[in-house]
């Protein structure tokens, strides 16, 4: 287990400026995705609140509230957010690290094409052992 940690730390320490640019773009993408999620949550809260009030709602007022919710969601995600974007970023970078050092269970030569990747341990139909009793039909005379 210590070897894996050492390899992972060595890999993280050898990042180039191109990798740093990718990290920044990934962090921005996860923050934008978090803003979309927050915006949808705010929209659901607004839709669930009663709309009958002293002042009737108009199209312009609904449009303004929608834009206000969108800006609020972007501001929340740009700060600490709700933690969703950071967790998503951590999960994606961990998967990328595992795939690049060969821990994901897939061959590293096809890591750019996930559709052509195959599991490393392929079992054939004959490797399963005997079938259980309940798989055989009951024959009565």
Calpha distance 45→51 (Å, rounded): 12
Residue 121 confidence (pLDDT): 53
Calpha distance 37→84 (Å, rounded): 9
pTM of the model: 0.53
Give the angle subtended at the CA of 94 by the CAs of 8 and 27, to the nearest 5°.
120
| Residue 79 per-residue DSSP state | T
Residue 32 confidence (pLDDT): 92
Residue 80 confidence (pLDDT): 81
Residue 3 confidence (pLDDT): 47
User: What is the residue extent of each domain of the chain?
Assistant: 27-106
Note whether 96 and 3 are within 8 A (CB).
no
For residue range 24-57, list pLDDT tens digits in order.
999 999 999 999 999 999 999 988 877 777 777 7
- Counting every residue written for the chain, the total comes to 141
- Angstrom CA distances, 78 to 19, 34, 83, 88, stand at 22, 9, 11, 15
Collect the ranges in the chain with pLDDT lower than 70.
1-18, 102-141
Calpha distance 128→31 (Å, rounded): 46
Residue 52 confidence (pLDDT): 73
């Amino acid at each position: 287990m210590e070897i894996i940690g050492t390899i992972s730390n060595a890999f993280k320490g050898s990042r180039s400026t191109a990798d740093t640019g990718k990290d920044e773009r990934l962090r921005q993408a996860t923050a934008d995705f978090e803003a979309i999620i927050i915006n949808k949550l705010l929209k659901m809260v607004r839709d669930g609140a009663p709309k009958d009030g002293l002042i009737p709602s108009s199209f312009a007022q609904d449009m303004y509230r929608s834009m206000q919710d969108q800006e609020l969601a972007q501001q929340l995600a740009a700060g600490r957010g709700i933690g969703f974007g950071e967790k998503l970023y951590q999960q994606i970078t961990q998967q990328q690290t595992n795939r690049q050092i060969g821990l994901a269970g897939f061959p590293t030569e096809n890591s750019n094409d996930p559709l052509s990747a195959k599991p490393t341990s392929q079992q054939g139909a004959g490797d399963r052992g005997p079938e259980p009793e309940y798989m055989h039909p009951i024959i009565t005379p």
